[in-house]
Structure 1
Amino acid sequence: MDRLDELLTAGTPLLSRVDEVLSTIGAPGGHDVWRELRRIRLLPGDAARAVAALRPTAILEAGPELRADARAYADLADALPLAGDWSGEAADAYETARRSTAERLNGGPDSLGRRMEATADLADALAGWMLRARGELTSTLAEVMLSAEAITLLGGDHPPADSAAAAAAIGARLLHTIAGSYDEAEDLLADSAGLQNPLPV
């Protein structure tokens, strides 16, 4: 359990109250929280829990294995024996097959080795993104838990308009932070779209 998990546990009553107020009372017209809700399409508490569910450790552990596999493909491509003393059509056919196999193992960007290396790069980038997303949410959550709006929402009876304004303010700050992280993740996935293409035959 890290700092975000601890804050999320401690902040559960506040996040539940924010979600409840936004769901039942709403938010002031034109408030920034409406834009953020349209971007994320989750209530602040649900969005915060989604970020907290990100676990970069498993992905970080996969990186070295993927790079080891990429090296194995490269070693295998280098180990394919040459035709040697052969000559004639059989030797030519073998050499063509050897080169084709080596190219598929570790040649161009669509070879198995290069794709494995690119997948390892993506894993490292995603793990870094998860760590940043969790860290940024930790900071924002710590701030809103100590805010005047949190006191308004948890400190007793207040007029609905005050509660709605407080929930909207907290919700907007949390969702804005999370939306920035989501945008970064979309950019990472877009940059790696080539990995989704099937290997050429």
Structure 2
Amino acid sequence: MDRLDQVLDSATPLLRRAEDVLELTGAPPGHPVWDHLRHVRLMPADAVRAVAGLRPAAMSEAEPELRADARVCVEAAAALPPPGEWEGEAADAYDDQRRRAAAHLAGGDDSLDERFEATADLAAALHQWMTRTRDNLAAALTEVLTSAEAFTLTASASFPPTSAETEAAANLSSHVLRTIADDYAEAEDLLEGSRHLADPIPL
């Protein structure tokens, strides 16, 4: 259990309260929360639950397995026997195929071992990003739980909500959504830089 798990249950009712206010009144015109809602495309509580669903441990477990697969490719390439004393056209054809297979397995930019290593690097980077994203959100939720906006939203529940409650809901939601949006922008850059991993390896 990390910091996000510890604070999630306490923060969720407050986020739902903020959502209820915004659904009744809307945010003030021009408030930054509108941009964050368009970017994240989730209301605060659902956006927080999406981050809470990130599992860094899965990436951490995948990395050594991928690096082990890369080593298997290198070992397999090295184990392919040369023709030895075998000579002639058939031997030459075999050796050509052996070299091609070895290059496919290991050593080149498009080889299997390099693809496994690059994927392991991505898994490591995603592990770091998920851990950092969860920590950042936990810090943001801790801040909103002790904020003046939280007091305004929980001290009373007017119907319809007052302008102070509307402003508090918008400010609180904006802070949480901005934190999530900033971290997800980093993930988009990371995945964009790894898009080539989805391309087939030439044979």
Q: TM-score range by the shorter chain?
A: over 0.9
Find the aligned partners of 1:24 and 1:102 in 2 and give their Cα distance. Answer: 65
Map Cα deviations across residues 129-176 of structure 1 (whole Å, 9 max, x no partner): 000000000111100110000000111135521111001101111111
Partner of 2:192: 190
Correspondence list, 1:1-201, <5 A: 1-158=1-158, 159-201=161-203
Find the aligned partners of 1:24 and 1:126 in 2 and give their Cα distance. Answer: 38
Find the aligned partners of 2:142 and 2:83 in 1 and give their Cα distance. Answer: 67
Unaligned runs of 5+ in 2: none
Unaligned runs of 5+ in 1: none
Map Cα deviations across residues 14-51 of structure 1 (whole Å, 9 max, x no partner): 01111211222111000010011111111111111111
Alpha-carbon offset, residue 108 of structure 1: 1.7
Find the aligned partners of 1:61 and 1:184 in 2 and give their Cα distance. Answer: 22
Find the aligned partners of 2:141 and 2:69 in 1 and give their Cα distance. Answer: 40
Give the conservation status (yes or no) of the 8 Å contact 1:137–1:174: yes
Give aligned-pair identity as a percent: 55
Give the conservation status (yes or no) of the 8 Å contact 1:18–1:45: no
Aligned residues: 201
Find the aligned partners of 1:195 and 1:155 in 2 and give their Cα distance. Answer: 52
Find the aligned partners of 1:198 and 1:161 in 2 and give their Cα distance. Answer: 56
SS at match of 1:11: helix
Give the conservation status (yes or no) of the 8 Å contact 1:33–1:172: yes
State the TM-score, normalized to the length of structure 1.
0.97
Find the aligned partners of 2:155 and 2:134 in 1 and give their Cα distance. Answer: 28
Find the aligned partners of 1:103 and 1:164 in 2 and give their Cα distance. Answer: 63
Find the aligned partners of 2:95 and 2:166 in 1 and give their Cα distance. Answer: 74
Find the aligned partners of 1:114 and 1:191 in 2 and give their Cα distance. Answer: 16
SS at match of 1:185: helix
Find the aligned partners of 1:22 and 1:67 in 2 and give their Cα distance. Answer: 48
Instruction: Kindly report structure 1 stretches of 4+ aligned residues shifted beyond 6 Å.
Output: none
Find the aligned partners of 2:91 and 2:107 in 1 and give their Cα distance. Answer: 22
Find the aligned partners of 1:3 and 1:128 in 2 and give their Cα distance. Answer: 15
| Cα RMSD for the two superposed structures | 1.1
In structure 2, give the amino acid aligned to 1:43. Answer: M
In structure 1, give the amino acid aligned to 2:123. Answer: A
Find the aligned partners of 2:202 and 2:25 in 1 and give their Cα distance. Answer: 55
Q: 1:200 to 1:150 in 2, by over 3 A?
A: same
